[in-house]
Amino acid sequence: MTVDAILCLLTAKPSAPVLLEVVGLTEDSVTLSWLSPERDGGSRIHGYVIECRELGATGAGTGWTRVKRIDSSDILVTCVEGLRVGVSYRFRVYAENEAGSGPPVELRQPVVPRSQLGMNF
């Protein structure tokens, strides 16, 4: 058995990050923040993946799309740009370690970018 195989057996995927929230919103971007998972699975968290899903008029949406990955040494705040005014989006974040990707934490409410005159979180 290789060292990598042994390490994989000794580690587990991390738990979901916690307290995902919107900390800023413009007409074409959203700024998200979150806290590290409660459990790292026995291996250092390497990074976080942010995914987005556009919702249609009926609430149904497209599939999840990876929009950003940040290193675990970065501050756990990121800005996702390129959004469209008036379109509803869902966001989720998950952590990655040696064992793989853990479950995501998802925003409770959709985000709808608005012009600066009509802030809507």
- pLDDT by residue (tens digit) across 27-73? 999 999 999 999 999 999 999 999 999 987 555 667 899 999 999 87
Q: Is residue 53 part of a domain?
A: yes
Residue 93 binned pLDDT confidence (cut-offs 50, 70, 90): very high
Q: Is residue 81 part of a domain?
A: yes
Residue 114 binned pLDDT confidence (cut-offs 50, 70, 90): confident
Q: Is residue 98 part of a domain?
A: yes
Q: Is residue 117 part of a domain?
A: no
Q: Is residue 21 part of a domain?
A: yes
Q: Is the pLDDT of residue 111 over 80?
A: yes
- Structure pTM? 0.83
Q: Which residues have a Cβ under 8 Å from the Cβ of 83 and sit 6 or more positions away?
A: 27, 28, 29, 30, 89, 111, 113
Amino acid at 110: P
Average pLDDT score, the chain: 87
Q: Is residue 116 part of a domain?
A: no
Number of folded domains that form the chain: 1
Q: Is residue 33 part of a domain?
A: yes
Q: Which two three-digit tokens encode residue 62?
A: 């497209």
Q: Which two three-digit tokens encode residue 8?
A: 């994989």
**pLDDT confidence of residue 75:** 86
**pLDDT confidence of residue 72:** 83
Radius of gyration of the chain (CA): 16
Look up the domain containing 65 and give its range.
Answer: 3-106
Q: Is residue 114 part of a domain?
A: no
CATH number at residue 16: 2.60.40.10
Q: How far apart are CA 38 and CA 36, in angstroms?
A: 6
